[in-house]
Structure 1
């Protein structure tokens, strides 16, 4: 009888270990394209991204750089006060997207241009993404409107 209990316990431990390994593998597989690191223009100047790396770029849309091309293609520069990165986006921009406002784009570099697949803009006049505020504060550009 003891031998049967011991076998059953070992079987349960092996099944649990296999299930745990499978779960960790599935989580890793799900995250392979889901983790996008945030970078400011200054961070990109210091440490350029790898070829084909998908990441998030954030900052302020530089005044005077917004150009609308053919169809839904738009180009502009994103700055954090220390560096500037040219951006190209094809698609519909958020309603509140404008020059001088905060934005975050997801995409990858093609040459010296960041090609965005998604653009997020502020959702009201007082909001700016935390990552953008932090990078602007590092450059000494951000002024808190509440102070």
Structure 2
């Protein structure tokens, strides 16, 4: 079981804060991803359903790395990852701000006043295809 001993005081404070959102601001190499992944693990260990956890970052690289680290931490814990797989629980939503925005619009396209396949229609107007766009561009 993780005991968070490798975290510094500020990181541990963010990890152990289980009520409400936490904003982690720090320079390159300061351990932001480690802090957030351990916080996600701690929230799940405290009973928060993984699908109720949202982690948002700026880059696709950071979102991918964070998602991978979360899964690795969960796999190292006593069966949390396998429990998620067998129970049908969804994973925490780890994404960029752009991906989150596109997800919200896709889920609520009618309320947003756009067509269901708005990205395909937008790509057609731009004379391109969704495969030619990086996820960060929409």
State the TM bucket, normalised to the shorter chain.
under 0.3
Q: Which structure has more helix as a fraction of its residues?
A: 2
Q: Which has the larger radius of gyration?
A: 1
Q: Which structure has more strand as a fraction of its residues?
A: 1
Bigger RCO (CA 8 Å, 6+ sep): 2
Given the two structures, how large is their TM-score scaled by the length of structure 2? 0.20
Given the two structures, how large is their TM-score scaled by the length of structure 1? 0.19
